[in-house]
Each structure stands twice: as C-alpha cells, then as structure tokens.
Amino acid sequence: MQRSAKDVWVGLFVLLGAAAVLFLALQSANLLSLNFDPVYRVTARFDNIGGLKAKSAVRSSGVVVGRVESIVFDDKTFQARVTLALERRYTFPKDSSLKILTSGLLGEQYVGIEAGADVANLQTGDTITSTQSAVVLENLIGQFLYNRAADGANGASGANGASGASGANAK
C-alpha cells in the first residue's frame, strides 16, 4: 500500500512537469497567450504581409500592445485584411500608421504601430489606412542582383565603346 501511494505522487509530479513544459513551449512559440485584459479590434489592409501569422505581436516602441487576431484575403481589393486585438489600456490616435517589421535579420515578423497626432483615438471596428507592407528579403536580393547585372552590362558596353573610339583615333 505504501508503494502505490508513492507511485501516485511520482505520477502526479511527472504530469505536472509535462504540463509545465507544454505550457512553456506554447508560450515561446506564440501559440498561447493568456491575456485576460480587455481588447479593442481594428483592421488594416496590406499589399504583402510576408510571413506574418495570427498571434504575432503588435508592438509600439518595442512594447507588446496587442496581437494579430486574424488574417484573411479580400478578393475584392486583392489585399490581406489583418485584424488586430489591441489592449484597451493602450490608446492610439486614429491617424496612426502600421508597418510589418522583422525581429532581427531573419526573426519573426510583427506589426509595428507608429502613433499619429490626431485628437480622436482608435475604437473597435476602425480601419487603419496608413500601412506599409512587409519587406521581403528575397525581393530585395533580387532587385540588388538585377541592378548589379544592369550596371555590369552598362559598364561592359561603355568600356568596349571607349576602347573602340580610342582605337579609331589611333589609326
């Protein structure tokens, strides 16, 4: 009897440890947010959201002020419609702007809010119109390579033309 009581306590301790590890894993992956503060929801439209996902952070000055609640494609405007759940204790002017930013060089993407100067504040159901889409690293690299190739082609034809002119003058 004594042995079975110890087995129950050990089993309970193992289950508690497994629950703690699961909780930490979900928290670190932004798949679980236990925030019971009241929120207000606003929407925004972006041309390109990059790798932004639901549950991504919404930050202002580096402070998490909310989460991305949902992302849907609007087939009328051909844009992504992003719904943000902002904590009610943080208020932002109606003319605030949104950017999709990246933590570090290759980190996770989040929405950054830059406060505007309007007297009226955002309310539930408002739409933020001033948005800047995600900077996609592959597009930047492609533009850089294309520009370098174009500069190389222009430089090569300029060099041939200059040497040809010099050769004509020398004769």
pLDDT tens across 103-160, in order?
877 788 899 999 999 999 999 999 999 998 887 777 788 888 888 888 877 766 555 5
- What does the alpha-carbon distance between residue 144 and residue 136 come to, in Å, rounded to a whole number? 13
Which amino acid is it at 98? L
Predicted pLDDT at 171: 45
- Residue spans of the domains in the chain: they are 1-32, 35-154
- CA-based R_g, the chain, Å: 27
- What does the alpha-carbon distance between residue 39 and residue 36 come to, in Å, rounded to a whole number? 9
Predicted pLDDT at 139: 78
- What does the alpha-carbon distance between residue 98 and residue 59 come to, in Å, rounded to a whole number? 10
Give the global pTM: 0.66
Average pLDDT over residues 15-20: 94
- Would you place residue 32 in the very low, low, confident or very high pLDDT band (cuts 50, 70, 90)? low
Predicted pLDDT at 160: 52
Residues sharing a CB contact under 8 Å with residue 84, sequence separation 6 or more, in sequence order: 41, 42, 43, 44, 58, 66, 67, 68, 69, 111
Predicted pLDDT at 168: 46
Predicted pLDDT at 127: 92
- Would you place residue 35 in the very low, low, confident or very high pLDDT band (cuts 50, 70, 90)? low
Which helix or strand (DSSP H or E) is residue 148 part of?
A: helix 137-170
Q: Measuring CA to CA, which residue among 111, 134, 115, 107 is closest to residue 59? A: 111
- Would you place residue 21 in the very low, low, confident or very high pLDDT band (cuts 50, 70, 90)? very high
